Amino acid sequence: MTDVRTGPIQSTFNSTPQTGMQQAPEHLFILFGATGDLARRKLYPALLRLWNEKRLPNKFALLGIARRPYHHDSFREQIRQAIEEFAPSAMPVAGDWQAFLERAYYCSADATKPEDFPAVASLVKKLEAEQGIPTHRLFYLAMAPELFAPVADQLQASGLTDLGDAPVENDRQAPWKRLIIEKPFGRDRTSAEILNQALRRVFAETEIFRIDHYLGKEMVQNIEVLRFANALFEPIWNHRNIASVQITSSETVGVEERAAYYDKAGALRDMVQNHVLQMVMMMAMEPPSRLKVEAIRDEKVKVLRSLRTLKEEEVYQHVVRGQYRGGSMWGQAVQSYRKEPGVQPQSSTETFVAARLFIDNFRWTGVPFYLRTGKRMATKATEIVVQFHNMPNHLYFNPEGQLQPNLLSIQVSPKEGISIRINAKQPGTDAVVVPVVMDFCQQTESPEAYERLLLDAMHGDATFFTRWDEVQLAWKFVDPIADAFTDHRLPLEPYAAGTWGPAVATQLPVAEGYQWWPLSTQTHEEGLLHEPI
């Protein structure tokens, strides 16, 4: 049945970025990997936006640490150039711009050389004394994961994690230290446990902020509000009313400059173990008993505990992996993954994963969750589609069961919003029923994910950061799948760049009588907006 719109049933909702959020406490932001790509593309623009919005205190300083022999002035110029290149809209007026740059300092140090850390410690204490900053230290390791543990050890050896007397409760000036680390959190469960043990020698679990930028996205955080603040949804958010849930996170780009990491990780470790499973948890969690950080995180962990673990011999029934070949995108030829710079010519690394999983608890029993993520796909989008059960057949307007199911679409990126597809009578007809889409689109610019998460870490709010038991349980689910990939039990299906992945992946939901629903970013002219692909 072809979908038509009976009229512009649309609405928008506005939000004020960071509404009601307090200014961050006075602190020193110590950034390892200060000359790296993550710092240039994401962290400096996020910090500048926080400065523009008056979210950073006057007693704030940024200390960049990397191997390059910069001085303070040359480092400030690098920050300026990075923001001009990657976030020109964040550039403030001249006076504010200079005030921000004056709070940036630099120390040349090699993270692998213990002899370089005394100089770092000396500069930290000097800046705190000169700027009047209390002993509030936020360490950000924007560097290779294999350096996390050695850096943590050297921070301790150099005295940078020694806060002296125990903090006094509710004392804003009491010393504190926090550590932010980027994914991947290990390569498997064993390596993740080793890394966690190393970090816990220096930092308490409450001081470790494992950042997953997907949790900073506006619509991911809005899932909780959508579910728990609306009587329209929470009573029907269960297996009695929901037939299936689909989560898509697709990219049009290839491996770009990440070949050294990506060719060892692949889509399963790079996306499914963290980003995609985080969205599963947000969709499936129970209402928290109270609006406290740990209560919310406890409910997310319960989802992972209920996630049905696949045995290696079951993986081929529920998982599809693929690798992109050459194709055409935007009218231009693109090369295959194996011809990308830095990729092994015979690489068996997957660039696409689709999976069917089940959550064995009372709310979700029998409801399949379909996941797919990949590179060089037809559209860049992150979207969740909830399909509700069909209406009974043989009603007067549904004699042959031709009605399409109701759908709820949560668009995470690049478009942010919610779409609801319902059935309605086509105007001017006696009883012709057609699907109608109601769109609720966010029109105001949302804060960048890193901007939101950095501010949360400065406040010590770990709600949208990953707790250790989440990491551990996510690896418990992913490890058997990764083992099946390594043993080549699961074929590596080719797919042309610019498509929706291997043909076999499009058939994954068919066994249960479903299909992949098109994303909101696909156009009606393509004939895909509301028809299955």
Per mean pLDDT, which range of 13-27, 95-109, 341-355 is the poorest? Answer: 13-27
Give residue 432's pLDDT band: very low, low, confident or very high (50, 70, 90): confident
Q: Has residue 14 got a pLDDT over 50?
A: no
pLDDT score at 67: 95
Tally Cβ neighbours within 10 Å of residue 381.
20
Average pLDDT over the chain, rounded to whole?
Answer: 88
Q: Which amino acid is it at 203?
A: F
Structure tokens at 161: 């994690």
Residues ≥6 apart with Cβ < 8 Å to 386: 242, 244, 245, 246, 283, 407, 408, 409, 410
Give residue 444's pLDDT band: very low, low, confident or very high (50, 70, 90): low
Which residue in 27, 136, 213, 275 is the catalytic one? 275
Tally Cβ neighbours within 10 Å of residue 393.
11
Structure tokens at 440: 């609720």
Per mean pLDDT, which range of 28-37, 334-343, 403-412, 516-525 is the poorest? Answer: 516-525
Cross-strand pairs, 36 = none
Residue 383 host element (H or E): strand 381-388
Average pLDDT over residues 383-390: 95
Residue 136 host element (H or E): strand 136-141
CA distances from 412 to 19, 221, 247, 426 (A): 20, 10, 10, 30
C-alpha torsion angle, residues 187, 188, 194, 200 (rounded to 10): 80
Q: Has residue 139 got a pLDDT over 70?
A: yes
> Which ranges in 391-489 belong to alpha helices (H)?
449-459, 468-486
Structure tokens at 409: 């679409």
In which residue are the tokens 């060719």 written?
263
Cα(217)–Cα(212) distance, rounded to whole angstroms?
A: 10
Residues ≥6 apart with Cβ < 8 Å to 95: none
Q: What is the pLDDT of residues 154-210, one digit of tens each?
A: 999 999 999 875 555 556 678 999 999 998 899 999 999 999 999 999 999 999 999
Average pLDDT over residues 450-454: 94
The rounded Cα 33 to chain-centroid distance in angstroms is 21
Give residue 525's pLDDT band: very low, low, confident or very high (50, 70, 90): very low
Per mean pLDDT, which range of 260-274, 393-407, 421-435 is the poorest? Answer: 393-407
pLDDT score at 446: 65
In this structure, what DSSP letter does residue 385 have?
Answer: E
Cis amide bond preceding 17, omega within 30: no
Percent of the chain whose pLDDT exceeds 90:
68
pLDDT score at 140: 98
pLDDT score at 19: 40
Cα(367)–Cα(356) distance, rounded to whole angstroms?
A: 10
Q: Has residue 236 got a pLDDT over 90?
A: yes
Tally Cβ neighbours within 10 Å of residue 173.
12
CB 471 within 8 A of CB 309: no
CA distances from 147 to 110, 143, 195, 247, 529 (A): 11, 7, 10, 33, 46
Per mean pLDDT, which range of 248-257, 288-297, 315-324 is the poorest? Answer: 288-297
Q: Which of 21-30, 305-314, 345-354, 401-410 is predicted most confidently?
A: 345-354
In this structure, what DSSP letter does residue 415 have?
Answer: S
Closest CA to 383 of 409, 405, 408: 409
pLDDT score at 2: 39
Tally Cβ neighbours within 10 Å of residue 282.
24
- Asked if 275 is an active-site residue, the reply is yes
User: Does residue 215 or residue 1 have the better pLDDT?
Assistant: 215
pLDDT score at 95: 63
Q: Has residue 524 got a pLDDT over 50?
A: no
Give residue 1's pLDDT band: very low, low, confident or very high (50, 70, 90): very low
Residues ≥6 apart with Cβ < 8 Å to 396: 431
Q: Has residue 103 got a pLDDT over 90?
A: yes
Contacts of 112-116 with C-beta under 8 Å, sequence gap 24+, read 112/147, 112/150, 114/154, 114/157
Give residue 395's pLDDT band: very low, low, confident or very high (50, 70, 90): low
Q: Secondary structure of 5-62 in the HEC alphabet? A: CCCCCEEEECCCCCCCCCCCCCEEEEEECCCCHHHHHHHHHHHHHHHHCCCCCCCEEE
Task: Report the relative pairing of strands 104-108 and 208-211 from DSSP bridges.
Answer: unpaired
Give residue 424's pLDDT band: very low, low, confident or very high (50, 70, 90): confident
pLDDT score at 92: 74
Cα(241)–Cα(254) distance, rounded to whole angstroms?
A: 38
